[in-house]
Amino acid sequence: MSKGTINVSVENIFPLIKKFLYSDHEIFLRELVSNATDATLKLKHLTNIGEAKVDYGSPKIEVKIDKDKKQLHIIDQGIGMTREEVEKYINEIAFSGAEEFIEKYKDKNGDDAGIIGHFGLGFYSAFMVAKKVEIITKSYKDEPAVHWTCDGSPNYIIEKSSKEDRGTEIILHIAEDSTEFLEESRIRELLVKYNKFMPIPIKFGTKTETLSKPEGAKEEEPAPTKEVDNIINNPDPAWTKAPTELKDEDYKSFYRELYPMQFEEPLFNIHLNVDYPFNLTGILYFPKMTNDMNIQKDKIQLYQNQVFVTDNVEGIVPEFLTMLRGVIDSPDIPLNVSRSYLQADGAVKKISSYITRKVADKLKSLFNSDREDFEKKWNDIKMVIEYGMLTEEKFYEKAQDFALYPTVDGTYFTFSELKEKIKDLQTDKDDKLVVLYASNTETQHSYIEAAKAKGYEVLLLDSPIVSHLLQKIESKEEKISFVRVDSDPIDSLIKKEEEAVSKLNDDEKETLSGFLKETIPSEKFTVKLEAMDSNANPFIITEPEFMRRMKE
């Protein structure tokens, strides 16, 4: 046995670690399971290339609670460490990492905790929840096993161990203020949150599996059962597979796996897969969406090499796509930095525009391959598309090919079809195209009918952001204006037809207009007396378009 002092300049680093990582203690488990996974994958690689001449077998990682001893164990069958490696990787390297980390962040305040949460402090994050940590490890190399113990001071003990099987066991002596991590439900929750899709099977306890009854078993005989490992993860999630390997049903069942509480099926999915100039895989789903913009709780999840990092992807995907669901997995997203830095980062910008492009391409191909189906889905996807057009220039341009403009009668035009359709009847004296729209078919009913009677097309645009989008289109397109069907410029449309004839005689008109002027004494409205349509509304009241917009 020998003793040593961990090579670190800060006299006692652990209070600092605790303090700075306070808000996110739970990530210690993610870090330790990640290390166990890394160690197993390293062994896999070494056996593959013939450098480790051992049987790789079918290794798993086990997480075990010993409530009586107040211990948590993380056990792997990976490469293990020799004594030299423990000295090097645990005593020196990791600590200098921790030191650097604390130097970097100790003067900051504010949203530090958020940054740190995504940073991960590797092995030493164990000291956020443990007063003492042991490592018992045996390398795949033919060397004696090692037992390292550290009680949270910079002093450690290293001695021989009798461990015979290859791999590493980490034992955490859980601190008094962290006993929540001795609860089965809490550990299961963490494993599901962070490790659900990690590549090595993770065992947490056992479960009873019901086997099929043997031939000729009696009706009342209970089916036999057996205790099997309770594996909490799916080591081969759909996004790690090639799109050609997956059927529609696979995408749907993966969606259910991601969001077990979500009963509505997604409308369609987009498989992301790129390895140059950055690495990124993932599957995005378009959920059904209604007009309410409530923040949803099922969000896009960000992974790094199958380890869950966060479900706050703000800054990584464009805002309009945060309404989607699914997963993104990329080792190339820097996570140890603030969100504002992320948005300025070159790699992240590329990732964000790649995702935008993929989404636009998918929408276009859905539109091209089955327009009828696309029209059916329009109501559920328009929020995302309209919001994207409003906020992302590139997307605006691409969306010209598939964004739809439905009429009150249920016809769907693309923008160019719409322009073509209305160019004869709906121009004003300045040669501007005037697009009429309604936002509500009930309250605007008589205006819609009147416009239709004159042969005009009336769009039904009812999403909450559409008025902003219309302004944007007006500013980008020359000679087009959107006019709500109940506002005044509708009168300035040039329409070559005989004047409408009022069914009222002059006396009646005078009485009525006198009455209306008294009843609606406002310059904000215009009252016109005319025969509106075949139903002969005797008059209409319109409001200037600019007044209407001011109210929105």
The two three-digit tokens of residue 338, written as one number: 């603030």
For ligand ADP, which is the closer residue by CB, 167 or 282? 167
289 binds, among ligand ADP, Mg ion, none (CB under 5 to 8 A by kind): none
**Cis omega (within 30 of 0) on the bond before 464?**
no
Q: Output the CA–CA distances (angstroms, integers) from residue 510 to 2, 105, 114, 513, 516, in the order listed.
A: 110, 79, 71, 5, 10
Handedness of CA 195, 200, 206, 211 (dihedral sign): positive
How far is C-alpha 429 from the chain's CA centre? Answer: 48
Contacts of 247 (CB under 8 A, 6+ apart): none
* 134: contact with ligand ADP by CB under 6 A: no
Number of residues that bind ligand ADP (CB under 6 A): 15
* 61: contact with ligand ADP by CB under 6 A: no
* 81: contact with ligand ADP by CB under 6 A: yes
For ligand ADP, which is the closer residue by CB, 81 or 422? 81
50 assigned ligand-binding residue: no
Q: Which positions from 152 through 211 interact with ligand ADP, judged by CB under 6 A?
A: 168
Minimal distance in Å, beta carbon 76 to ligand ADP?
5
Contacts of 451 (CB under 8 A, 6+ apart): 436, 458, 485, 490
* CA pair distance 236, 34, nearest whole angstrom: 16
Which residue sits closest to ligand ADP, CB atoms considered? 122
* 94: contact with ligand ADP by CB under 6 A: yes
Cβ distance 509 to 529 under 8 Å? yes
Cβ distance 201 to 231 under 8 Å? yes
For ligand ADP, which is the closer residue by CB, 149 or 444? 149
Indicate the burial class of 538 (C-beta count within 10 angstroms; 0-12, 13-18, 19 or more): middle
* 76: contact with ligand ADP by CB under 6 A: yes
Residue 153 phi, psi dihedral angles, 5° rounding: -95, 170
* 36: contact with ligand ADP by CB under 6 A: yes
Minimal distance in Å, beta carbon 99 to ligand ADP?
12
For Mg ion, which is the closer residue by CB, 35 or 304? 35
Q: Which stretch binds ligand ADP (CB under 6 A): 17-25, 71-79, 441-449, 511-519?
A: 71-79
335 binds, among Mg ion, ligand ADP, none (CB under 5 to 8 A by kind): none
Q: Which of 117, 122, 152, 318 binds ligand ADP (CB under 6 A)?
A: 122
Q: Which candidate, 432, 435, 462, 464, places its Cα nearest to that of 451?
A: 435
Contacts of 391 (CB under 8 A, 6+ apart): 318, 319, 320
* 79: contact with ligand ADP by CB under 6 A: yes
39 binds, among Mg ion, ligand ADP, none (CB under 5 to 8 A by kind): ligand ADP
* 101: contact with ligand ADP by CB under 6 A: no
* 62: contact with ligand ADP by CB under 6 A: no
Cβ distance 440 to 488 under 8 Å? no
307 binds, among Mg ion, ligand ADP, none (CB under 5 to 8 A by kind): none
3-state secondary structure at position 210: strand
Q: Which stretch binds ligand ADP (CB under 6 A): 86-94, 108-116, 319-327, 364-372?
A: 86-94
For ligand ADP, which is the closer residue by CB, 337 or 433? 337
Minimal distance in Å, beta carbon 41 to Mg ion?
12
Minimal distance in Å, beta carbon 50 to ligand ADP?
20
* CA pair distance 137, 341, nearest whole angstrom: 39
* CA pair distance 237, 233, nearest whole angstrom: 9
76 assigned ligand-binding residue: yes
Minimal distance in Å, beta carbon 239 to ligand ADP?
23
Query: Ramachandran region of residue 213, left (φ > 0), alpha (ψ -120 to 50) or beta?
Result: beta
Minimal distance in Å, beta carbon 304 to ligand ADP?
12
* 306: contact with ligand ADP by CB under 6 A: no
For ligand ADP, which is the closer residue by CB, 56 or 539? 56
Q: Which of 123, 127, 197, 405 binds ligand ADP (CB under 6 A)?
A: 123
The two three-digit tokens of residue 460, written as one number: 């039904």
Query: Ramachandran region of residue 311, left (φ > 0), alpha (ψ -120 to 50) or beta?
Result: alpha
97 assigned ligand-binding residue: yes
Minimal distance in Å, beta carbon 159 to ligand ADP?
18
* CA pair distance 468, 470, nearest whole angstrom: 5
* CA pair distance 331, 185, nearest whole angstrom: 30
134 assigned ligand-binding residue: no
Minimal distance in Å, beta carbon 337 to Mg ion?
18
* CA pair distance 429, 262, nearest whole angstrom: 53
Cβ distance 389 to 472 under 8 Å? yes
76 binds, among ligand ADP, Mg ion, none (CB under 5 to 8 A by kind): ligand ADP
Minimal distance in Å, beta carbon 118 to Mg ion?
14
94 binds, among ligand ADP, Mg ion, none (CB under 5 to 8 A by kind): ligand ADP
378 binds, among Mg ion, ligand ADP, none (CB under 5 to 8 A by kind): none
Q: Which of 33, 90, 289, 321 binds ligand ADP (CB under 6 A)?
A: 90
* 89: contact with ligand ADP by CB under 6 A: yes
For ligand ADP, which is the closer residue by CB, 47 or 513? 47
* 324: contact with ligand ADP by CB under 6 A: no
The two three-digit tokens of residue 545, written as one number: 């378009």
The full DSSP string for 295-364 is: PPSS--EEEETTEEEES--BTTB-GGGGGSEEEEE-TTS--SS-HHHHHH-HHHHHHHHHHHHHHHHHHH
Residue list for the binding site for ATP = 31, 35, 76, 81, 96-97, 168, 339
Binding region for ligand ADP (CB under 6 A): 31, 35-36, 39, 76, 78-81, 89-90, 94, 122-123, 168
Residue list for the binding site = 31, 35, 76, 81, 96-97, 168, 339
